[in-house]
């Protein structure tokens, strides 16, 4: 069993999704039970994977026992284990929230949700560039359908943009993969890294073109500056549990940038090393500025949270742009925090909107909230965490990142990051005072379901937990960054260079 | 043969990109389809073009790289599914918005003047 552990995060949601397909017309209770059960099981698998990877040993699972570099492999190291666990934690909150009624607004919500998890987990685990494409497609296809869940003009129109853009992005991904395969003759990322070290000089241009094209594709997924315009509309239009799960989708792009450029274009790649760094650094600052302006301009709570996702993307990319192990460790801590908190805020926005009658999540005067007290407490906690104020987790993440920036980088990053935090504080306090204090008329909203409360509390409750556990967590992210900076152990395990492999 | 192949791929890509940038959903869908054809052709050529080669390695001699064929097959399947999805989506958008503009707008700015 334990040898097959690595493939479980892909197989488990796949099987659950197929079971749910059989139950498409079945009772709601069974569907919810399968969906939630599978997600909880995924959480356990995620914990087991982290426990296994924490020692620092890289393990891999060769599908069909075809050994790398010829077969397809799933690779487990500290980073992929962490990401799988993070996905599972987020998914538990989202799926329980959806069980309060959002899942019955369209067909087969739970099945699509599981398949999306399968795509995300697969993208985190795969060690093969083409399979990264395939898992991207799996998660995108599920996300297209989930985005449209429940229908409505807003969703359909933002869905058209999202789908067309991502299809064009997929084409670009294939072209980039094709170029890299043509230049190096392999698709296995570890193998590609070793072959880049001995690349003939005349192929360097091809590899640079392929590598930077990949950056464009990952940038589209991660929503970097010139490629983020699809995000706010799509995230604001998506149903709440889906938007919460989408909080991890931009991080798939971040993860892919981190993985591909640390492994394939790492120090060993000679003149091609750190191909992306200059681009990512300046674009990350641009993304931060644009997102901060968006945060200030947003007139709808969901749109505001969507722009906060963009702020977090800019912050995370700045960590990649700095590129030192300290910065990568800081960005990983911040990534855990921001994924869960923005996910929680999307759920919270739905709950607030449900109690405000016609005004919904728009930041205008509306009816008072029936359960305003507890909603305000959660909003306050979430806002403090996401804006990066002490004492909650955002402050630690930002402080770590600020401390990791040195020299000229410090002069750029400090003002921009801190001002974007200020923009978030202004926008969130304005939103909060409008939502909770500026109200007229009678409260007539329905009481909210326990499952919704659980989903939000599960995600926002992580903020204090991340502070309490900051010590061990930072130890883990430090070790992860160390492992990423030295990809040799991964290549050695995968390609078995000291063994008798051909 | 190489230049013919390259020109074909290039023309397909150019036409696809041009159509994707149009403002009605139908040309956009056709553009995506053309682009995916171009990508499939491109992937097919990434192992190098060989003529009269064996499909599999049969000892010494000329053979075609089998991996791009497998990849193209995957890409075709995925591209086909995506095209089907985007066609349905475009039809839904047409019925929801009442017109086939990608932003759901009734009139293009300046369109009425022509």
Query: For A93, what's the count of Cα atoms within 13 Å in the CB-facing half-sphere?
Result: 31
pTM metric for this prediction: 0.93
Check if A171 contacts B (Cβ < 8 Å): yes
pLDDT greater than 90 at residue A270: no
Element (H, E) at A467: helix A462-468
The correct answer on CATH 3.30.70 for the domain covering B2-49+64-97 is no
Check if B36 contacts A (Cβ < 8 Å): yes
Q: How confident is the model at residue A268 (pLDDT cuts 50, 70, 90)?
A: confident
- Residues of chain B in contact with residue A139, where contact means CB-CB under 8 angstroms, are none
Which whole-number Å values give the CA distances from A28 to A31, A35, A454, B9, B64, in the listed order? 5, 11, 19, 49, 52
Mean pLDDT of chain A: 90
Measure the CA–CA gap between A93 and A91, rounded to whole angstroms: 5
CB-CB under 8 Å, A171 with B39: yes
Measure the CA–CA gap between A495 and A427, rounded to whole angstroms: 51
Task: Select the residue from B14, B45, B93 to test the A interface by mutation, using most A Cβ atoms within 10 A.
Answer: B93
- Residues of chain A in contact with residue B38, where contact means CB-CB under 8 angstroms, are 171
Residues 127-156 of A with CB under 8 A from B: 130, 134, 137, 141, 144, 148, 152-153, 156
Task: Select the residue from A174, A176, A180, A233 to test the B interface by mutation, using most B Cβ atoms within 10 A.
Answer: A174
How distant is the Cα of A494 from the closest Cα of chain B, in angstroms?
20
Residue in A closest to B95 by C-alpha: A153
Measure the CA–CA gap between B1 and A492, rounded to whole angstroms: 41
pLDDT in tens, B68-108: 888 899 889 988 888 999 999 999 888 888 888 888 777 65
- Residues of chain A in contact with residue B67, where contact means CB-CB under 8 angstroms, are 181, 187
Q: What is the pLDDT, as a whole number, of residue A365? A: 86
- Residues of chain A in contact with residue B68, where contact means CB-CB under 8 angstroms, are 178, 181
Q: Average pLDDT, stretch A115-119?
A: 95
Residue in A closest to B105 by C-alpha: A157
Residues 80-99 of B with CB under 8 A from A: 81-82, 85-86, 89-90, 92-93, 96-97
Which one of B71, B78, B89 has the shortest CB-CB distance to A160?
A: B89
Element (H, E) at A476: helix A470-485
Q: Any idea of the CA torsion for B100, B105, B108, B114, to the nearest 10 degrees?
A: 70
Q: What is the pLDDT, as a whole number, of residue A1? A: 59
Return the HEC string of chain B. CHHHHHHHHHHHHHHHHHHHCCCEHHHHHHHHHHHHHHHHHHHHCCCCCCCCCECCCCCCCCECCHHHHHHHHHHHHHHHHHHHHHHHHHHHHHHHHCCCECCCCCCCCCCCCC
Task: Select the residue from B89, B94, B100, B106 to test the A interface by mutation, using most A Cβ atoms within 10 A.
Answer: B89
Q: How confident is the model at residue B114 (pLDDT cuts 50, 70, 90)?
A: very low
- Residues of chain B in contact with residue A144, where contact means CB-CB under 8 angstroms, are 85, 89
Q: What is the pLDDT, as a whole number, of residue A43? A: 96
Residues 172-211 of A with CB under 8 A from B: 174-175, 177-179, 181-182, 187
The β-bridge partners of A76 are: A59
Alpha helices (runs of H) in A247-369, residue ranges in sequence order:
249-263, 277-297, 301-322, 325-355
8 Å CB contact between B16 and B32? yes
CB-CB under 8 Å, A160 with B102: yes
Query: For A443, what's the count of Cα atoms within 13 Å in the CB-facing half-sphere?
Result: 16
8 Å CB contact between A445 and A367? yes
Q: Which ipTM was obtained for this model? A: 0.90
How distant is the Cα of B60 from the closest Cα of chain A, in angstroms?
19
8 Å CB contact between A405 and A327? yes
Measure the CA–CA gap between A48 and A51, rounded to whole angstroms: 5
Q: What percent of chain A has pLDDT over 70?
A: 99
CB-CB under 8 Å, B89 with A144: yes
pLDDT greater than 50 at residue A16: yes
pLDDT greater than 90 at residue A360: no
- Residues of chain A in contact with residue B46, where contact means CB-CB under 8 angstroms, are 178-179, 181-182
pLDDT in tens, A278-289: 889 999 999 999
């Amino acid at each position: 069993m334990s040898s097959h552990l690595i493939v479980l995060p892909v197989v488990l949601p796949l099987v659950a999704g197929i079971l749910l397909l059989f139950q498409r017309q079945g009772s709601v209770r069974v569907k919810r039970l399968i969906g939630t059960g599978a997600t909880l099981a995924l959480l356990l698998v995620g914990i087991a994977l982290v426990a296994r990877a924490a020692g620092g040993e890289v393990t891999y699972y060769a599908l069909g026992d075809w050994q790398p570099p010829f077969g397809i492999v799933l690779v487990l190291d500290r980073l992929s284990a962490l990401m799988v666990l993070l996905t599972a934690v987020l998914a538990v909150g989202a799926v329980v929230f959806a069980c309060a009624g959002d899942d019955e607004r369209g067909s087969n919500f739970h099945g699509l949700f599981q398949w999306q998890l399968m795509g995300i987990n697969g993208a985190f685990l795969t060690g093969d560039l083409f399979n990264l494409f395939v898992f991207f497609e799996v998660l995108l296809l599920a996300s297209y359908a989930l985005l449209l869940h429940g229908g409505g003009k807003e969703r359909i129109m933002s869905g058209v943009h999202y789908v067309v853009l991502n299809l064009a992005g997929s084409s670009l991904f294939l072209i980039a993969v094709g170029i890299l395969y043509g230049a190096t003759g392999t698709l296995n990322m570890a193998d590609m890294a070793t072959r880049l070290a001995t690349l003939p000089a005349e192929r360097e241009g091809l590899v640079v073109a392929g590598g930077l094209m990949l950056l464009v594709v990952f940038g589209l997924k991660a929503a970097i500056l010139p490629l983020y315009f699809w995000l706010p509309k799509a995230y604001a239009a998506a149903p709440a549990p889906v938007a919460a799960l989408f909080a991890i989708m931009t991080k798939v792009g971040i993860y892919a940038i981190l993985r591909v450029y640390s492994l394939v274009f790492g120090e060993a790649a000679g003149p091609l090393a750190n191909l992306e760094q200059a681009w990512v650094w300046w674009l990350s600052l641009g993304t931060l500025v644009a997102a901060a302006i968006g945060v200030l301009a947003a007139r709808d709570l969901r749109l505001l949270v969507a722009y906060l996702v963009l702020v977090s993307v800019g912050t995370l990319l700045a960590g990649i742009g700095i590129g030192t192990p300290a910065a990568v460790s800081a960005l990983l801590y911040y990534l855990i925090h921001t994924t869960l908190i923005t996910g929680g805020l999307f759920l919270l926005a739905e709950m607030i909107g449900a109690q405000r009658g016609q005004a919904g999540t728009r930041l205008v005067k509306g009816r008072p909230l029936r359960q305003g007290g507890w909603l305000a407490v959660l909003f306050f906690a979430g806002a403090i965490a996401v804006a990066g104020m002490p004492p909650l987790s955002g402050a630690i993440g930002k402080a770590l990142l600020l401390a990791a920036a040195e020299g000229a980088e410090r002069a750029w990053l400090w003002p921009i990051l801190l001002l974007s935090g200020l923009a978030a504080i202004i926008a969130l306090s304005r939103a909060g005072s409008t939502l909770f204090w500026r109200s007229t008329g009678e409260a007539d909203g329905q009481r909210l379901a326990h499952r919704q409360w659980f989903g939000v509390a599960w995600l926002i409750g992580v903020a204090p937990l991340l502070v309490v556990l900051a010590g061990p967590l930072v130890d883990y992210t430090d070790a992860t960054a160390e492992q990423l900076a030295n990809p040799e152990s991964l290549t050695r395990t995968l390609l078995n260079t000291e063994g008798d492999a051909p | 043969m190489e230049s013919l192949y390259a020109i074909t791929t290039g023309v397909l890509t150019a036409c696809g990109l041009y159509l994707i940038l149009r403002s009605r959903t139908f040309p956009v869908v056709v553009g995506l389809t053309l682009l995916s054809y171009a990508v499939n052709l491109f992937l097919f050529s990434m192992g190098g073009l060989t003529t009269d080669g064996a499909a599999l390695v049969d000892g010494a001699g000329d053979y075609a790289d089998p991996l791009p064929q497998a990849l193209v097959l995957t890409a075709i399947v995925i591209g086909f599914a995506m095209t089907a999805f985007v066609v349905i989506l475009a039809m839904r958008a047409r019925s929801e918005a009442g017109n086939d503009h990608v932003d759901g707008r009734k009139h293009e700015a300046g369109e009425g003047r022509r």
